[in-house]
Amino acid sequence: MAIQTVMVIGAGQMGSGIAQVAAAAGLNVLLHDNAEASLHQGISRLTKSLGRSVEKGKLAEEQKTSILARIVPCARLDQAAQADLVIEAIIESMEHKTTLFKRLDDLCRPQAILATNTSSLPITEIAAVTGRPSQVIGMHFMNPVPVMPLVEIIRGLETSDEVFGQIRDLAERMGKTPVEVNDFPGFVSNRVLMPMINEAIYTVYEGVAAPEAVDKVMKLGMNHPMGPLELADFIGLDTCLSIMEILHHGFGDNKYRPCPLLRKYVKAGRLGRKTGRGFYTYD
Ligand code: CAA
């Protein structure tokens, strides 16, 4: 089956980015969100992103128009019946994801593939609520999606070789570099990245250094494009906490214990850039 129509579910930062790169690759995209305001915001975010590429001379105005014409905002989930592939990019909640995958299993054509952009939840467990576990797979994009070349492709226990091959080829068609990973908590990206961010938060918590100093050390000393605390604010401190909890719970090892300062910030609503305040303050 050639993948031609993709439904992206969740029009947040990740979902709108995925819709943008899929449409830029020539795919027909149905962008769904259950909140109308988020759907509008997602379309406006990706329109702005394409507009910036036009301003920089990286994209012609006509290309922008044709990319946008390939993205159809959908208020109704049952339009998933038209899709060859669904990429879910909703909140990181097992309950929300399994409820959605059960509905998608009923709505989608039998041959359709169901992918999740989860950053750390088990693919095998999500697949198990459907009647098609061999057609369920993890497709983990990085933020900002239009810029970052990686897609981690995670095989669930039952994912077929055929489905894996189709998704790997599709990621390449979308201009990304796929890397195959097995289904364990945090996969590779967040198993390595999040403990580093958590440790950076511990250095602030224990008074080793101020956030600016920690970030400067990592940027100037290790050539990281963003310091770990700046990156945590960019990802969202609530997302960082939820990934650390998944690692802690999944491995049962204290080395993954979330820093109390991270918990405190999340409880206070200091979630990073999206709320205007995290380790830093934003306008
Ligand atoms: N959307 C689209 N394009 C964006 C963008 C966005 N949100 N942010 C930056 N860009 C583009 C810019 O337009 C610019 O494009 P050109 O080269 O065409 O001019 C390019 O990216 C570089 O941007 P800037 O010059 O403004 O700034 P920069 O050089 O500091 O790069 C960055 C910005 C790419 C975000 C860089 O700081 C970076 O790589 N940071 C680390 C990002 C990272 O680690 N992401 C992974 C997070 S973890 C994750 O996503 C997984 C998870 O599960 C939590």
Beta carbons within 8 Å of 240's beta carbon, 6+ residues apart: 194, 197, 198, 232, 262
What Rg do the C-alpha atoms of the chain give, in angstroms? 19
Type of residue at 151: V
Q: How far is the CA of 12 from the centre of ligand 1 (A)?
A: 16
Whether 61 is a known active-site residue: answer no
3-class secondary structure per residue, 151-176: EEEEECCCCCHHHHHHHHHHHHHCCC
> What pLDDT is stored for residue 217 in this prediction?
98
- Under 8 Å between Cβ of 233 and 279: yes
Q: What pTM did the predictor assign?
A: 0.95
* Residue to substitute in 90, 120, 147, 246 for testing ligand 1 pocket (most ligand atoms within 8 angstroms of CB): 147
ipTM for this model: 0.94
Tell me which long-range contacts 223-232 makes (C-beta under 8 A, separation of at least 24).
Answer: 227/200, 228/196, 228/197, 228/199, 228/200, 229/197, 229/200, 229/201, 229/204, 229/278, 229/279, 229/280, 230/279, 230/280, 231/197, 232/197, 232/200, 232/201, 232/272, 232/278, 232/279
Retrieve residue 201's tokens.
């938060």
Whether 242 is a known active-site residue: answer no
Q: How far is the CA of 110 from the centre of ligand 1 (A)?
A: 37
**Closest residue by Cα to residue 24 from 70, 93, 80:** 70
Whether 125 is a known active-site residue: answer no
Query: Which of left, alpha, beta for 276 (phi over 0: left; psi -120 to 50: alpha)?
Result: left
Q: Which residues line ligand 1 (CB under 6 A)?
A: 49, 52, 56, 58, 119, 142-144, 146-148, 189-190, 193, 225-226, 231, 235, 239
- Residues 88, 152, 198, 242: which is the catalytic one? 152
> What pLDDT is stored for residue 1 in this prediction?
72
Task: Look at ligand 1, atom 13, and give the residue with the nearest C-alpha.
Answer: 52
CB atoms within 10 A of CB 145: 24
Residuewise pLDDT in 10s, the chain (283 residues):
799 999 999 999 999 999 999 999 999 999 999 999 999 999 999 999 999 999 999 999 999 999 999 999 999 999 999 999 999 999 989 999 999 999 999 999 999 999 999 999 999 999 999 999 999 999 999 999 999 999 999 999 999 999 999 999 999 999 999 999 999 999 999 999 999 999 999 999 999 999 999 999 999 999 999 999 999 999 999 999 999 999 999 999 999 999 999 999 999 999 999 999 999 999 8
- Residues 16, 119, 120, 198: which is the catalytic one? 119
> What pLDDT is stored for residue 238 in this prediction?
95
> What pLDDT is stored for residue 161 in this prediction?
98
